[in-house]
Amino acid sequence: MKARELYHSLDFLGKTQQNWAFSHLVGKDYGEVFLDNPEVKGIKEKLLQIKRGYKKGIPLAYLLEESYFYGRRFYVNPDVLIPRPETEGLVERALDLPWKKALDLCTGSGVIATTLYLEKGGHIQGVDLSHKALALAKKNAKELGAQVDFSQGDLFSGLSGKFDLIISNPPYIKTASMMDLEVSLYEPHLALDGGRDGLDLIRRILEEAPSYLNPGGHLLLEIGDEQADKLLCLGQSFCGRIEVDLAKKPRYYIGRKKEIC
Ligand code: GLN
């Protein structure tokens, strides 16, 4: 199949995803091969798979097994959440804080932990309950040359030592809202479902984090846009504040551990 023919056969995706799928299949942007229009070989099967999967509503990131986060390419699969732009905002905030040792809870594909290492260095530990997610996180870190210490566990269980930063994009969606959300069709419920009020994991993190933070250390969480007031109320061990995402929705909780803790 010729490159231009391939490009047009992907136009059911819409422009941005069309360009993305094309460069994934060909290894070059469409603009680079438009004039030469070379023959593209060995992609028929994959193209069919993309068409079929997309029709069913499977996110393109899963079909291509890749996603971009903070300008880098990460492997993704249905064992992990597809990283979101909001989470890039979380990482930006982490990079503005002072820390040398950081812990990423619910690391999933490892995008946060890996990006923190590549942007700032230091000692980073990533934890997840899912063995399958951890396998992918390790693959991502290795591929990108990040030295992250990944371990399996239920939040803080099995951890020792203290950190300057605890960061997490925990599951924060209310169980009752899960059915209304398109993301819940193909993305892992373990990564999304935060229990009855969406705060099951967040409550545990707020309670346990102070014991794992050095004096003056920070807790940085991505949260649901209706959870801000609750977070401020629950986080009694922290001097906390909320910041908004690019859509101006309350999205980030930044808590500094109170010195008396
Ligand atoms: N840390 C990963 C991300 O932000 C996974 C988060 C999760 O599984 N809740 O994409």
Q: What is the pLDDT of residues 131-149, one digit of tens each?
A: 999 999 999 999 999 999 9
Q: Residue 65: its pLDDT value, please?
A: 97
Please report the atom of ligand 1 found closest to the CA of residue 170.
9
The predicted pLDDT at position 155 comes to 96
CA distance 190 to 129: 9
Which of 167, 7, 179 minimizes the C-alpha distance to 99? 167
Structure confidence at residue 260 (pLDDT): 61
What local confidence, expressed as pLDDT, does residue 261 receive?
Answer: 43
What's the pLDDT band for 243 if we cut at 50, 70, 90? very high
Is residue 126 lining ligand 1, measured as CB closer than 6 Å? no
* pTM (two decimals): 0.94
Residue among 72, 84, 86, 111 whose CB has most ligand 1 atoms within 8 A, to mutate:
111
| % of residues, the chain, pLDDT over 90 | 90
DSSP state of 210: G
Judge if the beta carbon of residue 110 lies within 6 A of ligand 1.
no
Closest listed residue to residue 193, CA positions, set 176, 172, 179? 172
Nearest residue (CA) to ligand 1, atom 7: 191
Given pLDDT bands bounded at 50, 70 and 90, which one contains residue 259? confident
20 touches 60 (CB < 8 A): yes
Q: Measured from the CA of 168, which atom of ligand 1 is nearest?
A: 1
Mean of per-residue pLDDT scores for the chain:
95
Answer for the pair 206, 166: CB distance below 8 angstroms, yes or no: no
Under 8 Å between Cβ of 109 and 152? no
Buried b (16+ CB within 10 A) or exposed e, 71-94: ebebbbbebbbbbbebbbbbbebb
Could you give the dihedral angle defined by the CA atoms of residues 193, 197, 200 and 205, in that order, rounded to the nearest 10 degrees? 110
